[in-house]
Amino acid sequence: MASRRPDSFDGLGYRGRDDPLYGASYPLRSAGGPAELHHHWVTTPPDIPGSRNLHHGERTPQHDEPLGEPGGPGAAAGGDAPQPGVPPAEQLNRFAGFGIGLVSLFTENVLAHPCIVFRRQCQVNYHARCYHLTPFSAVTVMYSITKAQGLKSLWKGMGSTFIVHGVTLGAEGIISEVTPLPRELPHRWTWKQLAGHLLLKGLTAVVALPFYCASLIETVQSDIVRDDSASGLLDCVREGVTRLFGVGAPHSRRLLPLTCLLLPAALHAILRYSIAASIQRVVLWLHQRSRKQRADANNPLDAYFPELAAAWAGSLVADIALFPLETALHRLGLQGTRTIIDATDGVVAVGNGGSPLVLPVNTQYDGFSDCLHSIRRKEGVAGFYRGFGALAAQYALHGALLAAARTLLRLLLLEGRAG
């Protein structure tokens, strides 16, 4: 059967017969013998550096070889195959980026979780005499709680935090698909696009609010009163649904409806995202500016580490700036839920076998503004920063592990190059 494919089809693009490049690279196919037709049925596409689509007798030029000079630098290096036992530079770079990203993700979501638990307990414990404004006092009480209740006491509620992250990502994706609100901002954005993007962040926080309140209860509730046999991984989902529709176990009359928490939750999410993104852009800009003046501008770690460091700095500044707002939001979300927390003063009950004391959370705020005024009037400005030492310990641990991972991977890259 005669082929309907044009004679000038080269497998990648279409070149006319009048194109001088056509006859130079690919010989014309005649309608002669079947062997010749079979040989030129599919022609080979032009050579791509780094690929195996090579013509007979050719090899891939090096990246630093000038175009059109097959005998440029590296031609007499003695073969294309890398030396055995030495991984390519690209593979090492990808390994470095994956390693640093994995360390950052593991530290942020697993290792730093005890600091998040203790910080939230301090924020809602208005009875405590010690505000734990420094990491030293916070670490001391965290150690005493762990010693009395076990290691799992400070990792409680970690599964529910993952569920909240999943609900947030899912809600953001669904809302961005059914509405014109942009999920990502382009490089050159308009004020309308920015307003829609921030509105999307606020709506996502509103959707995840019931599950965030359920996760808050799981993270601050004491293990002494927790029934492990009746608790499950999906308790956060069940409690969030019951909080949303007002069904299930009855709560106290002091329980605030979710409508009173919508504005603080959306405001906190929008402000935190805005501050963190702004600081991240500034840090990356400063890094790129200083990178041009350094001699090691081609460091492969600069392709991965600056973004993680900028994200770390942005989250740190945002959490510090919005710490008072987060304190008020956590107290309002926990009010009326009959939650019992650990005593954050480090007091030990002698008559109870040496276990830490537990305290109920019995706040009576009428709303967001009343909560702010009540904290300022009864506890002072420092009352908004209860548990700030746990936040400092959290980001100090995160930053130290990031720096250690960067140093270790730099040494591995140097060894790989030297080998």
The domain that holds 404 is classified in CATH as 1.50.40.10
- Strand-pairing partners, residue 348, are 356
The Cα 174–Cα 232 span in angstroms is: 27
- Please indicate, yes or no, if residue 344 is contained in any of the structural domains: yes
Q: Is 392 helix (H, G, I), strand (E, B) or coil?
A: helix
- Please indicate, yes or no, if residue 48 is contained in any of the structural domains: no
Other beta carbons less than 10 A from residue 414's beta carbon:
10
Nearest residue to 109 (alpha-carbon basis) of 165, 59, 170: 165
Asked if residue 389 lies in contact with residue 367, where contact means CB atoms within 8 angstroms, the answer is no
- Please indicate, yes or no, if residue 47 is contained in any of the structural domains: no
| Tokens at 50, concatenated | 């780094």
pLDDT at res. 362: 87
Asked if residue 122 lies in contact with residue 115, where contact means CB atoms within 8 angstroms, the answer is no
Q: Which residues neighbour 286 within 8 Å (Cβ) at sequence distance 6 or greater?
A: none
| Tokens at 300, concatenated | 């492969």
Asked if residue 137 lies in contact with residue 385, where contact means CB atoms within 8 angstroms, the answer is no
Q: Is 400 helix (H, G, I), strand (E, B) or coil?
A: helix
- Please indicate, yes or no, if residue 86 is contained in any of the structural domains: no
- Please indicate, yes or no, if residue 59 is contained in any of the structural domains: no
- Please indicate, yes or no, if residue 93 is contained in any of the structural domains: no
The Cα 406–Cα 419 span in angstroms is: 20
pLDDT in tens, the chain (419 residues): 555 545 544 444 444 445 444 444 444 444 444 444 444 444 444 444 444 444 444 444 444 444 444 444 444 444 445 445 545 556 666 666 676 778 778 888 888 999 999 999 999 999 888 999 999 999 989 988 888 888 888 888 888 999 999 999 999 999 999 999 999 988 888 999 999 999 999 999 999 999 999 999 999 998 887 766 556 678 888 888 888 887 765 567 888 889 999 999 999 999 999 999 999 999 999 888 877 666 555 565 666 788 888 999 999 999 999 999 999 999 999 998 888 998 888 755 444 454 458 888 888 899 999 999 999 999 999 999 999 999 999 999 999 988 888 888 778 767 766 65
Range of the domain at 239: 101-414
The Cα 120–Cα 29 span in angstroms is: 76
The Cα 309–Cα 398 span in angstroms is: 10
- Please indicate, yes or no, if residue 357 is contained in any of the structural domains: yes
- Please indicate, yes or no, if residue 33 is contained in any of the structural domains: no
pLDDT at res. 17: 46
AA letter at 368: F
Give the total number of structural domains in the chain. Answer: 1
The Cα 291–Cα 281 span in angstroms is: 15
For the chain, helix, strand, coil in percent to 5 are 60, 5, 40
List of E strands, 128-222? none
Q: What is the DSSP string of 317-360?
A: HHHHHTHHHHHHHHHHHHTTS--EEE-TT--B-GGGTTPBPEEE
Asked if residue 329 lies in contact with residue 261, where contact means CB atoms within 8 angstroms, the answer is yes
Nearest residue to 258 (alpha-carbon basis) of 209, 203, 215, 328: 209
Nearest residue to 37 (alpha-carbon basis) of 28, 29, 45, 49: 29
Asked if residue 107 lies in contact with residue 398, where contact means CB atoms within 8 angstroms, the answer is yes
Q: Tokens 């031609």 label which residue?
A: 75
